[in-house]
Amino acid sequence: MTKKERYKFVFDWFEANAESAETELNYENNYQLLVAVILSAQCTDKRVNLLTPRIFEDFPVPEVMAASTPDEIFEYIKSCSYPNNKAKSLVGMAQKLVDDYNGEVPSDMNELLSIPGVGRKTANVILSVAFDKPAMAVDTHVFRVSNRIGLTNNSKTPLETERELVKHIPEHLISKAHHWLILHGRYICVARKPKCDQCGLRDWCKYYKNVVSKQLPGMEK
């Protein structure tokens, strides 16, 4: 099977079978989305969604958060991973939006990367979700699923994975593909014990062919 064929089979399957191509983070505007995505680093969307209602109520716009302190924000997010760093990032993010972008979230990669707490993955999420741009955010799920299926060839870094995926996925599908791969990794192609028996991509998956199928009864190892 060629790489081109594998990509076609995989994303044809997602188009036909995936139930959702949207983030599971709750938000109502781009500022709220940015807050939620910053909080989601190494933290589950479920946990973030438990924290953000109070944050959005008490800090409804960047101007209000910019006038707060990391110590104040910490009290809202202390049950999240890395609360000290994230509290500093959120205040710095809000101050940057107010000082440089009139309180609006920018739609340019370089401008997003100038914001405290925003790395390439976060910037790509914002570009994709908020502005519907063909950006591929690579988190641990996208990285793992892409390597297992064979969309990438043992890529070593998220940036390498991103470039490979963007190169081969049709541009109009990139934003959806980001969510498809995340959700597939979150619920089916999980890290320790992938649920291959529930996966519709088995026939095109390198990991299933080279590892799992050889462990099944009656198959040679």
Q: Which residues contact 96 (CB under 8 A, 6 or more apart)?
A: 114, 115, 116
Q: Are 205 and 1 in contact (CB under 8 A)?
A: no
| Residue 78: active-site member | no
Catalytic residue (one of 86, 88, 96, 121): 121
What's the rounded Cα separation, in Å, for the pair 111 and 66? 18
Helices then strands (H, E): number in the chain?
13, 0
Instruction: Region of 69 please: left (phi>0), alpha (psi -120 to 50) or beta.
Output: beta
Amino acid (1-letter code) at residue 128: S
According to DSSP, residue 82 is labeled S
What's the rounded Cα separation, in Å, for the pair 42 and 23? 16
Catalytic residue (one of 86, 88, 96, 139): 139
Amino acid (1-letter code) at residue 102: N
Q: Are 109 and 121 in contact (CB under 8 A)?
A: no
| Residue 203: active-site member | no
> Between the CA of residue 198 and those of 143, 202, 209, what are the distances in Å?
20, 9, 15
Catalytic residues: 121, 139
